[in-house]
Amino acid sequence: MHGHPLDLLPLVGVAVLVAGFVVRLNPLAVVAAAAFASGLAASLSPLQVLAVLGKAFNDNRYVSLVWLVVPVVGVLERAGLRDRAREAVARFRGPGGAPLSAGRLLLAYFVLRQITSALGLTALGGQAQMVRPLIAPMAEAAAETSAGQALDPARRDLVRAHAAATDNVAVFFGEDIFLAFGSVLLIRGVLAGGGHEVSPLAISVWAIPTAGLALVIHGARLLGLDRRFRRAGA
């Protein structure tokens, strides 16, 4: 059965959402405007729309709490978190008094991130709460200390990209080792749908060599980043 054309009116919120993002308006204002547009098109009063939004937030408040980390990180950055992280790395010296390189710093973070993910502690890292305010600035400072000069924009972007990739790769392959993680249950469900009954424990065990290969491959890329900087005169 096909719905009445008027049933499509609430979809006007999608158009508002797309238009708002195209012209680069404030994301929060765009989402709120889209919600109200859909609600009004569905014959709801403004107060009813507001009530629906409030109920949705309350029902999902534990999920919504995650977004509170964004303004918290912003306040910490404004207070000098990035600067303090850079200063700490610049003062650090490895064996023999050699400065810490960006690749070695990111490799250490990779190992830590993978181990904690394997234990189910995936929330201990992340792009917003860890990479942007701490890991990326620390890697930049390590690269600058090793080079003895400030990074040019291209090298700075390269270091930031490796910092982001380090977190993604480590957690992606590390989390499958944790027995009760959603990805393990998803793999089991897909295999069961194909007629292959595999226990979550078996999936977790076989995720260990995959995580090990991820460490070796990505570790080589990170150490290659150091070699690339040295060849360029860093």
Which of 7-11's residues contact partners 24+ apart within 8 Å by CB, and which partners? 9/41, 9/42, 10/38, 10/39, 10/41, 10/42, 11/38, 11/41
In the chain, the amino acid numbered 127 is Q
| pLDDT tens digit sequence for 99-157 | 688 899 999 999 999 999 998 888 888 887 788 888 888 898 888 887 777 788 889 99
Identify the weakest region by mean pLDDT among 6-20, 70-84, 139-153, 201-215: 70-84
- Mean pLDDT across the stretch 229-234? 72
What's the pTM? 0.65
Among residues 218, 225, 230, 214, the alpha carbon closest in space to that of 103 is found at: 225
For 71-108, how does the pLDDT look when each residue is reduced to its tens digit (9 = 90+)? 666 666 666 666 776 677 766 666 666 668 889 999 99
Most distant CA pair in the chain: distance in Å? 76
Report residue 192 as tokens.
Answer: 């069961």
**Whole-number Å distance between alpha carbons of 90 and 108:** 16
Return the HEC string of 92-155: CECHHHCECCHHHHHHHHHHHHHHHHHCCCHHHCCHHHHHHHHHHHHHHHHHHHHHCCCCCHHH
